Amino acid sequence: MPGRLAGRRALVTGGAGGIGLACARRLLAEGAEVVLLDRRADALSSAAGVGAAPVACDIRDPGAVAAAVTRAAGLLNGPADVLVNSAGVYRIAPLLDLTPGEWDDVLAVNLRGTFLAGRAVAAALIAAGRPGAIVNISSTAGLVADAVEPSAHYNASKAGVLALTRQMAAEWAPYGIRANAVCPGVIDTPMLRIMDDPAAGAAYLQAGVPQRRLGSADEVAAVTAFLASDDASYLTGAAVPVDGGATAI
């Protein structure tokens, strides 16, 4: 439904590629103005071609996030009233091999970054007396474990995003701010590792995904745009799997 986000101001973290860039494209197509946040300046330059304004930002740094949200408000002529928290990293390591430094690195981007961006955007909206919508990109890894690709730090970070989303929803509902999460399954992006071995990947899709295929970043973006729109006006604190049915079996 083109135009349902007309007049909205959107900020997408991790917006230079993968799911973040797909979300930015979808929000733009539905009428929103969009600013992309990413720490990769070179990737941002390429991604800006979709029509969004780029802002370089290390999502782990509170000062950098606050400054980026302020700069985005200037570019958008007002505070962002849609936030898509898509910045994330994926690492694989068995628990016994996992170092505290590796744990901290993943949690800093995936969970701390989501907290910092959400807090900054919500504070600006509350100060302006405006409603808004936050969509946090979690993962099915926050819902179920994975013995094939052990990644406790990633799983814990994404489960934390779900708990954080529910708390955002509860605390900020009185201000008209909704918060929901999307839980992608195996999505065809550069972050995907399960298809590094095509035969093993195909076997997993046959046995573990009822739809028997990878999802696309555009399919995740479609759900994200719905959650950001007024079509989801009575939906907050929810976690929506976009996984081809993987968590249903």
In the structure encoding, which two tokens stand for residue 68, read together? 């980026």
The arrangement of strands across the sheet holding 53-56 comes to 53-56, 33-38, 9-13, 82-85, 132-137, 177-184, 239-242
Catalytic residue among 154, 175, 204, 234: 154
What gap in Å lies between CA 18 and CA 11, rounded to an integer? 15
Could you confirm whether 90 is annotated as catalytic?
no
| Nearest residue to 133 via CA among 176, 183, 170, 75 | 176
By DSSP bridging, strand 82-85 and strand 53-56 are unpaired
**91-97 contacts, C-beta under 8 A, 24 or more apart:** 91/151, 91/153, 91/154, 92/149, 92/150, 92/151, 92/154, 92/193, 93/150, 93/151, 93/152, 93/153, 94/150, 95/150, 95/152
Which are the catalytic amino acids? Answer: 154
